[in-house]
Structure 1
Amino acid sequence: MGKKPHRKNNSKNKGGKQTDAAGLARRILQFLDAHYGEEFNSKQIIKKLEIRDALTKGGVEPVLSKLVEAGSVSRNPRNYYSSTQDPEFIEGIVDFVNPRFAFIVPLDPEKVDGDILVKEADMKQALDGDKVRVMVYPLKGKTGRVEGKVLEVVEKNRDEFVGRVEISPRFAFVVPDFKKMHKDIFVHRGELNGAQHGEKVVVKLTEWRDGDKNPTGEVIRVLGKAGEHEVEIHSIMAEFGLPFEYPEEPEKEAEGISEKITAKEIKKRKDFRDILTFTIDPADAKDFDDAISYRKLENGNHEIGVHIADVTHYVQPKTALEKEAYNRATSVYLVDRTIPMLPERLSNGLCSLRPHEDKLTFACVFEVDDEANVKKHWIGRTIIHSDRRYAYEEAQENIDTQSGDYYEELTLLNGMAKKIRQRRFKHGAVNFETVEVKFKLDEKGTPLGLMIKERKDIHKLIEEFMLLANKYVAEFVFNKNKGKDTFVYRTHDSPDMERLDTFSGFAKRFGHAF
């Protein structure tokens, strides 16, 4: 359905201003259009428009007659009036910006001129993020924006909220943390699940009847006393739907996986166990996903391998493990903890490239000359045995002081990385240098302060070889699937300002701000 032209009223006096009759006609049209399908007599219209002066009241009937003549309004034999304008019906997503109104972001932007403003009274109990069906008014409102009313909630975005319990003698409310949830949630005293006044809870909406000012819910999880570190972290996790624990079935599957690497499996892979290999990660890292191998070749060139933990060997298709990993999509890193995509036995054990252990990996291995030009490359499965686990600071110190374990190899790799980086920028790569922060925590995990992470050569070394591997893997997959549109892409939505506000607010709660 295309856009419909707005009605125009050309009744103007010589000064170019709308006459009182024209203004009244506009108000009546807006009212009737906003109540599409309903009929009103003149007295009801006067009452609805809150017209109080006698002169304007007397003008309502003549204006209605003129609108009927113009075909903008219809009149039935009982002298009830209704709009003749066919409204636009649009589907969109609710952006509930404040308690007074929301914007509906159209799913098809071509159907309407901008986002649709909907007043709170016309939201039909839709909440932020809901998919709704909206009736768009033919005339723009006083704000000059397209306006409308929600006819139907097509799909709910969420029905659980984190908030603080407030209990009175006869009833209780949960005040949501989510800034775009503008209604407190009524909870019957018997549905508090043991929550006490002032505690943080997770509440699930159970009912919101027409005419009720607030929705009704039940407490499904008590998080604890508001303000305590662990409670606030759990509040953030619950607010964004992050899981608190791993389900039993995939956990059992993970525990049942054998640690043994069979000779048959080793035969399927290139064996790098006798080649110098190490990992470089933050000092507080719990799992090690990638490793670098290095050796000097007889022809004078250098072999550099980028090895990634082979998770697919352990997480098989159509298993509970795969299903849970698919639902989680990625690991999530919070201030004081990691919420892993895989159970700890895999993420911190079998799939962690820990030193002095045989590990199964995927690799992209390069043969490069002294100027870091790639002469050959190979992509496939490998088995490695890491000789050393470095923290970034340790590896950087070895380069700076020209001493310590494998400092010569680290220095050579650093020089190679710099040449690759310089060549990337020469060919038009964008330098995405950003400032990263790190929280200083006490023994209980409470943030004490913020520190700026300094990016040194060792960080860039890892980054360059990862980028190089990504480039060659992408080319490999593209060439393998020429003529087909088969690939996995990582895509990013626009920044969620509400989540950024929440994160900033969390820092401010402990006396810090970004």
Structure 2
Amino acid sequence: MEEVLGPITAPGVDILALVHSYGLAPDFPEEVQSAAEELARTQRPEADPARVDRRELLVFTIDPLDAKDHDDALSVIPLRPGHWEVGVHIADVSAYVESGSVVDVEALERGTSVYMVDRVIPMLPHALSSDVCSLRRDEDRAAVSVFATLDTDGQVGDVRFERTLIRSRHKLSYEEAQDVLDGADSVAADVDAAIVTLAELARCVRRRREERGSLDFDLPEARVVLGSGGEPLD
């Protein structure tokens, strides 16, 4: 016997059994945890003069309702009739984590965050993944941004990459974004317009891809609803 996880019928014990059977590490080594907390306290990527200040953009995140980490965001601005510049902004972890550091080596070994029914086993300590490397609303964040020009034919024009400083203006769920598209609710006039524009551009790109013979595997996604005690309800 190596460890007692609890009664087999207790909520969450089955998940712990899976975690152990696949050799996943729910906790980080103390050295890694301390290093991540120190990086979160001391690193100031906003002071980097090489980082492009894009805080004037209307940037917002769209994630599952229960998301804890927000690592990507969107923006869109009109350029000329029929053309827009779409921005995709990814949290820049490299602004905090140096290649070869203990945090980097641990993240490389883990490879990815693992999403279980009732918990997430993160690739990076929470001091980074859920804090300074999460694109929180109304907080300045370092990002790697790609800007692409799109037109109503779904054509991608100029593309450029920048290391940026951004500030998310709104945190939306998928349901809230869908309500805007359905006309059932409103976030703010400028955000509503951006969501509608992005959805239309996505349709244009998708239509162009389908015309080239792409396949779309629209598979259902299972979701388990848990009670306050961790027991499955639905």
Q: Normalised by the size of structure 1, how large is the TM-score?
A: 0.43
Alignment partner of 1:255 out of 37, 40, 50? 37
Aligned to 2:220: 435
Aligned to 1:270: 52
Q: Is the 8 A contact 1:310 1:361 kept in 2?
A: yes
Aligned to 2:230: 445
Letter aligned with residue 442 of structure 1 = G
Identity percentage over the alignment?
39
1:401 equivalent to 2:183? Answer yes
Pairs aligned (count): 230
Residue 439 of structure 1 aligns to a residue whose secondary structure is coil
Q: Is the 8 A contact 2:146 2:160 kept in 1?
A: yes
Cα deviation for residue 299 of structure 1 reads: 6.9
The separation in 2 between residues aligned to 1:245 and 1:329, in whole angstroms, is: 15
Stretch deviating more after TM superposition (310-319 or 327-336): 310-319
The separation in 1 between residues aligned to 2:56 and 2:80, in whole angstroms, is: 16
Residue 35 of structure 2 aligns to a residue whose secondary structure is helix
Residue 431 of structure 1 aligns to a residue whose secondary structure is coil
Unaligned runs of 5+ in 1: 1-218, 450-514
The separation in 2 between residues aligned to 1:396 and 1:415, in whole angstroms, is: 13
Q: Is the 8 A contact 2:150 2:201 kept in 1?
A: no
The separation in 1 between residues aligned to 2:180 and 2:67, in whole angstroms, is: 20
1:239 equivalent to 2:21? Answer yes
Residue 368 of structure 1 aligns to a residue whose secondary structure is strand
Moved over 4 A (4+): none
Matches within 5 A, 1:322-361: 322-361=104-143
**CA distance 1:263–1:418, change in 2 (3 Å):** closer
Residue 88 of structure 2 aligns to a residue whose secondary structure is strand
Note the aligned Cα RMSD (angstroms): 1.7
Matches within 5 A, 1:211-226: 219-226=1-8
Determine which structure has greater relative contact order: mean sequence separation of CA pairs < 8 Å that are 6+ residues apart, divided by chain length. Answer: 2
Deviation string for 1:190-242 (max 9, x for gaps)? Answer: xxxxxxxxxxxxxxxxxxxxxxxxxxxxx222212222113222111111111
Matches within 5 A, 1:156-235: 219-235=1-17
Alignment partner of 1:302 out of 84, 89, 94? 84
Unaligned runs of 5+ in 2: none
**CA distance 1:426–1:298, change in 2 (3 Å):** closer
Q: Is the 8 A contact 1:288 1:353 kept in 2?
A: yes
Matches within 5 A, 1:64-103: none
Q: Is the 8 A contact 1:259 1:350 kept in 2?
A: no
Alignment partner of 2:72 out of 264, 268, 290? 290
Residue 297 of structure 1 aligns to a residue whose secondary structure is strand
The separation in 2 between residues aligned to 1:397 and 1:263, in whole angstroms, is: 34
Q: Normalised by the size of structure 2, how large is the TM-score?
A: 0.92
Q: Is the 8 A contact 2:43 2:96 kept in 1?
A: no
Residue 360 of structure 1 aligns to a residue whose secondary structure is strand
**CA distance 1:356–1:349, change in 2 (3 Å):** same
The separation in 1 between residues aligned to 2:125 and 2:178, in whole angstroms, is: 32
The separation in 1 between residues aligned to 2:32 and 2:212, in whole angstroms, is: 46
Residue 375 of structure 1 aligns to a residue whose secondary structure is strand
The separation in 1 between residues aligned to 2:42 and 2:168, in whole angstroms, is: 17
